[in-house]
Amino acid sequence: MPRDREVDPSLNRRRLRIALRKAREAAEQSQGQAAHALDWSLSKIMRIEQGTVSLSVTDLRALLQQYGVADPVLAGELEEAARGSKGASWWAQYNDVIGPQFSQYLGYESAAASIRTYNPIIVPGFLQTDEYALALLAPRVDEAKARRIVELRTARQERALEGEDPPWTFFVVDEAALHRQIGGPRVQRAQLQHLISMSERPKVSLQVLPFTAGAHYSTVSSFILLGFLDDEDLLYLEAQGNQSIRDDHELIVRHQECFESLREIAYGEDKAIDLINQIRDSIDSS
C-alpha cells in the first residue's frame, strides 16, 4: 500500500500548519493578536496551527494578508494545500476503535521521515504479527474489536514500512519481549521469525537491548520519536494517555538522548539477530 503523502488531507493540513505558524512568527504576531485582527476566535487559529481542521481558501488568503505573505508561488502552493485539506484521512474508517488523541498522532506518523521506537515489554506494534497482536489484545477487548485494531495496525505497518519511499525506522526491542510468550510458544516463535524477516527490509534497523544492559532513563516506559524533514521531532507516549508532545522541548531532548544511549548499549543488528535466532530455537512449539 503506498503512503499517499500527496493526497491524504492530514498531510495538507500539516503543510498549512507549519507554513502559517512560521508566517505568523515572522510577522511577530501572537495567536491572540492574529485572531483579534481577523475577528476570529483564538481557538480557530489554534486548531489551524495544530493541523486538526481543514482550511478554506478564503480563510487562507485572509491569514496570508494578515501575515504579509506576498510570495505568489508560496501562496499558490498553500491554496492547493487548503483545497486538499478537506475530507477524511486514511484512518477514518477505523474511528470506531481510535480516539481523538491517537487520531492526531496518526496524522503526524503519516508525514514522518524517521520513526524511532523503544519498548521494554512487548514487540513494537510495527513489528507484530496478526496472531501476536490478537493474543496481546485478548485480555482487554472482545474479539471483534481486537480484529479491527489489528486491521488498523496492519494498515499502519504497510504505510510505514512499504512503498517507494518509506521512512527510516529504528527499533530497540528489549530482550524481555523476546522471551515473553504472547499467545503461546507457536505464536512467539512465528513472531521472532517475523522480526528476523523485518530486519532485512531496507531502511529498517533492529537492535536488542540485553538483560545485562541494566537500568536507563526509560527502563519501564515505551516511547516513539517521529522525525521530520521540515519540523522538530515529536514524542509519542502511548502509556500516558496517547500523548503527542511537540512543545515540551526538555522532555523530547531527554528521550532523544535516551534513544541514542539505548542504541549504543544495545546489540547491533548481527548480534541481535543471533540472539533472536537462539531464543526462537529454544522455544518448544510442539
Say yes or no: domain 9-83 is CATH 1.10.260.40. Answer: yes
Phi/psi of residue 115, nearest 5 degrees: -130, 120
Give the pLDDT of residue 161.
Answer: 86
Q: What is the mean pLDDT of residues 157-173?
A: 89
CA–CA dist 187, 138 (Å, integer): 14
Q: Could you report the per-residue pLDDT of 55-102, keeping only the tens digit for each?
A: 999 999 999 999 999 999 999 999 999 999 888 888 999 999 999 889
pLDDT of residue 285: 62
As a residue count, the chain comes to: 286
Helix axes 130-137, 185-199, angle to 10 degrees: 130
CATH class of 90-282: alpha beta
DSSP three-state, residue 103: helix
- What is the average pLDDT across 33-56? 93
Write down the pLDDT at residue 53: 86
Q: What is the model's pLDDT at position 5?
A: 43
Average of per-residue pLDDT values in the chain:
91
The distance between the two most distant Cα atoms of the chain, rounded to a whole number of Å, is: 71
pLDDT in tens, 229-281: 888 999 999 887 789 998 899 999 999 999 999 999 999 999 999 999 999 99
- Within 8 A by CB and 6+ apart from 123, the residues are 132, 173, 177, 182, 191, 195
Percentage of the chain modeled with pLDDT above 70: 97
* pLDDT number for residue 62: 96
User: Stretch 143-170: mean pLDDT, rounded?
Assistant: 91
Residue with cell 494517555: 241
**What is the average per-residue pLDDT within 136-153?**
95
The residues spanned by each domain of the chain are 9-83, 90-282
Cβ-Cβ contacts under 8 Å for 43 (sequence gap 6 or more): none
Q: What is the pLDDT of residue 219?
A: 74
192-226 confidence digits (pLDDT tens)? 999 999 999 989 999 999 999 877 776 778 999 99
Contact of 105 with 236, CB cutoff 8 Å: yes
Question: Between the CA of residue 203 and those of 163, 167, 258, what are the distances in Å?
Answer: 12, 7, 21
Whole-prediction pTM:
0.84
